[in-house]
């Protein structure tokens, strides 16, 4: 857990490539640079039902390739500021919220930064459903960037 004198040691940025997620990267980069924190960029690929995707693994391969491109773009925002960054993709998860929360706990994350709304089609008035779920269930502080 973070020591208030030391800042946040490890920051998790949950990203889906949306404008909100890129804003979260900007905020996290500022916090990380100021506090000399390391950053983990995380993208969660949800489970795709057999009805939604072709039976071959080609669909997941394409999703993973796009996720890697998006994470590389996000990572460059940190690297240009001298912030150490790791990238991770979780694949085939039923709950994006649960995946983020469990990853954060297992990776000893002290702060989660994410955008208010991602690429999902349904929008709440205040927070997106993933942001709201992470705020409700995370073991650590969560910063939601607009």
Residue extents of the structural domains in the chain: 10-145
Looking at the domain that runs over 10-145, which CATH code has it been given?
3.40.50.620
* CA gap 140, 134 in Å, rounded: 10
Mean pLDDT over each residue of the chain, to the nearest integer: 85
Torsion of CA 63, 123, 112, 100, to 10 degrees: -50
pLDDT at 60 over 80: no
* Neighbour count for residue 45 (Cβ, 10 Å): 17
Report phi then psi at 75, rounded to 5: -60, -35
Q: List the one residue out of 108, 107, 113, 109 whose CA is nearest residue 134.
A: 113
pLDDT at 142 over 90: yes
Residue 89 or 4, more confident = 89
pTM of the model: 0.85
Residue range 52-74: mean pLDDT, rounded: 82
Q: Which residues contact 43 (CB under 8 A, 6 or more apart)?
A: 14, 15, 16, 17, 67, 70, 71, 88, 89, 90
Distance of CA 84 to CAs 9, 28, 29, 80, 115, Å? 11, 12, 10, 10, 21
* CA gap 101, 12 in Å, rounded: 10
pLDDT at 55 over 70: no
């Amino acid at each position: 857990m973070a020591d208030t004198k030391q800042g946040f040691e490890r920051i998790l940025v949950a990203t889906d490539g949306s404008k909100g997620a890129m804003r979260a990267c900007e905020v996290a980069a500022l916090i990380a640079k100021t506090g000399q924190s390391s950053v983990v960029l995380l993208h969660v690929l949800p489970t795709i039902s057999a009805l939604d995707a072709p039976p071959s693994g080609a669909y997941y391969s394409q999703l993973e390739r796009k996720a890697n491109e998006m994470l590389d773009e996000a990572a460059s925002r940190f690297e240009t500021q001298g912030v150490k960054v790791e990238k991770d993709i979780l694949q085939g998860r039923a709950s994006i919220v649960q995946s983020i929360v469990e990853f954060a706990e297992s990776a000893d994350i002290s702060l989660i930064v994410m955008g208010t709304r991602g690429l999902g089609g349904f929008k709440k008035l205040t927070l997106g459903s993933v942001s709201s779920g992470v705020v409700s269930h995370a073991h650590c502080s969560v910063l939601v960037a607009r």
